[in-house]
């Protein structure tokens, strides 16, 4: 049943265990992508709000008990968060769809996955909090321990906002850090829900804080703050680069999950029915606002025409509609500004000589940020739409004749996030996978990931990996401790003359 948005209150920051207005008293409107009508008002944070949140996080880190409590005790809180996410799964799915325009059928599983990730880190931390000892002789021993890093600054984007925020929050908290989350300004609702959940779970004040606001005026002060030890960022490549520069004066540890222009390479011997399903899903699900979308289709020339005919057929039948309707497959883009950005790319494709074929948008949706699912044909890999991330429901199709050519085009990109290879020749599948310059490759598969497996990109798509034990490693410091076991023979400078 469709819910009314009228019960959704304004969003406040969550600082030191309390929901608070901005110091400046300022707020901004949060628009519904379906009709561009404000859903609510959101507190707008600036450097002084960030200062309060970081101070609370710092105090909570320094004074405990979060960092110092027994691991089993801390994990009870982490499990409690998972339970509450499961309890509120339906609300989370609804809020996410309302706020971001993602079809509700596709936001349903996100809370479940986020809860599983909290449970995963509750287990992972217990088994991974294991140091090494180095026996040398009877005179000393060296050993290592893992400690939380300190105050983490977590900065997240508007696509899949709940899942991407919890991706960072779960390992941050499980390893004993405290944090300040700065969610994207276009999708604040589920970050607020997460704050409510963590409040209900009873975490000590200051352990988890959320400050809402814009990138330049709220994200940047978080990055520059000297009491923040690490920044975990997911977003655009250009923003990532600005963050690295801004964090360099205070030598921040950084993790960067950035943009992509990922190729799906379909060979003539592939299972074409499955490849078609996957290619369509990987570009049009989540409204095409997906970092791992296969936005470039490289297709063997011998199957190009029939495959494109089938793509056109799918395009005609895709259900574009109200994101709250469970039947909807493609909803509105997040914001008018992003809608304009995607449409500009479609115009550029035409100007550069490509053929543009778009699905139709049903009547009654003109107030929303709808971009029809679009195919760009007669394209080549040098075109702007093959090189730049569009981040919308737009698939650029490029034929190839040989495996070498496919590989060359796939790698001819500044990005290196994901790659998809479709072939029934498994030697070729592995060969291609190993030569693709990207962080993740799926062979005859699409974007499924066991929680133990790392996630991340190369080149302009990122630095580092999230997930699995990589999450644990990033959010902890390894300390080396040397202990003398007997009398040490240390050169005694200055002793002879005395
Ligand atoms: P964005 O870079 O515009 O914004 C992301 C976050 O950074 C927002 O919270 C924003 O307010 C903040 N920000 C902006 N400027 C900042 C600054 N100067 N200092 C500090 N913070 C700043 O990205 P977006 O448009 O929200 O998200 C879409 C992008 O995210 C796409 O490029 C997509 O590929 C990428 N993404 C990558 C992954 C991945 O895992 N690799 C996952 C999802 C999205």
The pLDDT of residue 495: 86
The mean pLDDT of 379-407, rounded to a whole number, is 98
Top mutation candidate among 50, 239, 242 for ligand 1, by most atoms within 8 Å of CB: 239
The DSSP bridge partners found for residue 480 are 144
CB 320 within 8 A of CB 369: no
Residue nearest to atom 13 of ligand 1 (CA): 215
Give the per-residue pLDDT at 5. Answer: 59
Check: complex ipTM more than 0.90: yes
> Is residue 255 pLDDT above 50, yes or no?
yes
**Atom 26 of ligand 1: nearest residue by CA position:** 157
Q: Could you identify the atom of ligand 1 that is nearest to the CA of residue 242?
A: 18
Relative orientation angle of helices 104-128 and 71-87, to the nearest 10 degrees: 170
Average pLDDT of the residues in 427-451:
96
Average pLDDT, the chain: 96
Q: Which atom of ligand 1 is nearest to the CA of 214?
A: 11
Tokens 């330049």 locate to 216
Strands 263-266 and 296-300: parallel
pLDDT digits (tens, 9 = 90+) for 465-486: 999 999 999 999 999 999 999 8
On the question of pLDDT at 226 being above 70, the answer is: yes
Q: Contacts by 196-199 with C-beta closer than 8 Å and gap 24+?
A: 197/81, 197/84, 197/85, 197/88, 198/14, 198/81, 199/14, 199/17, 199/19
pLDDT of residue 246: 98
Contact at 8 Å (CB) between 283 and 63?
A: no
Q: Which residues are catalytic?
A: 257, 291
H or E element in which residue 116 lies: helix 104-128
CA of 236 to the centre of ligand 1 (A): 4
What does the alpha-carbon distance between residue 494 and residue 62 come to, in Å, rounded to a whole number? 39
Ligand 1 binding residues, C-beta < 6 A: 155-159, 164, 182-185, 214-216, 219-220, 223, 234-236, 239, 242-243, 257-260, 291, 389, 391, 417, 457, 461-462
Q: Please, which pLDDT band fits residue 165 given cuts at 50, 70 and 90?
A: very high
Contact present, 417 and 439 (Cβ < 8 Å): yes
Predicted confidence at residue 489, as pLDDT, reads 81
DSSP 297: E
pLDDT in tens, 117-140: 999 999 999 999 999 999 888 888
The residue count of the chain comes to 498
- Per-residue pLDDT tens digits for 68-127: 999 999 999 999 999 999 999 999 999 999 999 999 999 999 999 999 999 999 999 999
Give the mean model confidence (pLDDT) for residues 26-32.
Answer: 98
Query: Residue whose CA is closest, atom 20 of ligand 1?
Result: 219
Strands 355-358 and 374-377: antiparallel
Which helix (H) or strand (E) is 392 found in, with range? none
Start-to-end C-alpha separation, the chain: 89
Cβ atoms within 10 Å, residue 128: 16
Tell me how far the alpha carbon of residue 131 lies from the centroid of ligand 1, in angstroms. Answer: 35
* Apex 340 CA angle, 336 and 342, nearest 5: 115
Pick the residue whose CA is nearest to atom 28 on ligand 1.
235
* pLDDT tens readout for residues 341-383: 999 999 999 999 999 999 999 999 999 999 999 999 999 999 9
Query: For position 447, what pLDDT does the model report?
Result: 85
Q: Name which of 249, 79, 255 is nearest 154 in CA terms.
A: 255
Question: What per-residue confidence (pLDDT) applies to 434?
Answer: 98
The answer on pLDDT for 2 being more than 50 is no
pLDDT of 1 > 50? The answer is no
Measured from the Cα of 157, ligand 1's closest atom is 26
Average pLDDT over residues 178-189: 98
pLDDT at 137: 85
Residue 344: half-sphere exposure toward Cβ, Cα within 13 Å: 11
Is residue 388 predicted with pLDDT exceeding 60? yes
* Ligand 1 atom, smallest distance to 389 CA: 32
Give residue 156 CA to ligand 1 midpoint distance, Å. Answer: 6
Angle, CA 333 vertex, CA 420 and CA 304 arms, to 5°:
35
Q: Which atom of ligand 1 is nearest to the CA of 461?
A: 41
In whole angstroms, what separates CA 211 from the centre of its chain?
Answer: 18
- How large is the average pLDDT for residues 14-32? 98
Ligand 1 centre from 479 Cα, in Å? Answer: 32
């Amino acid at each position: 049943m469709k819910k009314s948005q009228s019960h959704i209150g304004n969003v406040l920051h969550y600082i030191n265990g309390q929901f608070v207005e901005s110091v400046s008293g300022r707020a901004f409107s949060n628009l519904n992508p379906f009709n561009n009508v404000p859903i609510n008002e959101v507190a707008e944070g600036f450097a002084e709000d960030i200062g309060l949140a970081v101070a609370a996080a710092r105090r909570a880190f320094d004074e405990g008990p979060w960092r110092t409590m027994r691991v089993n005790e801390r994990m009870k809180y982490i499990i409690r968060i998972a339970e509450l996410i499961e309890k509120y799964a339906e609300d989370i799915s609804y809020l996410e769809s309302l706020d971001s325009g993602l079809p509700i059928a596709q936001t349903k599983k996100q809370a479940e996955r986020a809860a599983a990730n909290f449970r995963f880190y509750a287990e992972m931390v217990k088994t991974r909090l294991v140091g090494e000892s180095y026996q040398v002789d009877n005179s000393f021993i060296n050993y290592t321990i893992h400690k939380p890093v300190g105050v983490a600054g977590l900065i997240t984007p508007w696509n899949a906002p709940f899942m991407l925020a919890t991706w960072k929050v779960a390992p941050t908290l499980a390893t004993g850090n405290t944090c300040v989350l700065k969610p994207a300004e276009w999708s604040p609702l589920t970050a607020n829900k997460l704050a409510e959940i963590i409040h209900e779970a009873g975490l000590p004040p200051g352990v988890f804080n959320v400050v809402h606001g814009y990138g330049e005026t709220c994200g940047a002060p978080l990055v520059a703050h000297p009491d923040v030890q690490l920044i975990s960022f997911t977003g655009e490549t250009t923003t990532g680069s600005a963050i690295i520069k801004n964090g360099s004066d205070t030598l921040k540890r950084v993790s960067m999950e950035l943009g992509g222009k990922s190729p799906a390479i379909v060979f003539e011997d592939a299972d074409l029915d499955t490849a078609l399903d996957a290619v369509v899903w990987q570009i049009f699900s989540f409204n095409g606002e997906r970092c791992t979308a296969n936005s470039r289709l490289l297709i063997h020339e011998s199957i190009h025409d029939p495959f494109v005919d089938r793509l056109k057929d799918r395009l005609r039948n895709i259900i574009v509609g109200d994101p709250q309707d469970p039947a909807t497959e493609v909803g509105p883009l997040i914001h008018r500004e992003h809608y304009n950005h995607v449409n500009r790319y479609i115009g550029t494709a035409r100007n550069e000589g490509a053929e543009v074929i778009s699905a139709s948008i049903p009547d009654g949706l003109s107030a929303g940020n709808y971009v029809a699912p679009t195919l760009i044909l007669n394209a080549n890999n040098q075109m702007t739409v093959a090189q730049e991330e569009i981040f919308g429901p737009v698939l650029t199709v490029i034929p190839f004749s040989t495996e070498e050519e496919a590989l060359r085009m796939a790698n001819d990109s500044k990005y290196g996030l994901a790659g998809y290879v479709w072939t029934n020749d498994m030697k070729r599948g592995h060969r291609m996978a190993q030569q693709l310059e990207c962080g993740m490759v799926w062979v005859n598969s699409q974007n499924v990931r066991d929680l133990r497996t790392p996630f991340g990109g190369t080149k302009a798509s990122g630095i580092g990996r999230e997930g699995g034990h990589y999450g644990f490693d990033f959010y902890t410091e390894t300390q080396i401790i040397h202990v003398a076991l007997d009398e040490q023979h240390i050169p005694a400078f200055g002793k002879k003359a005395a």
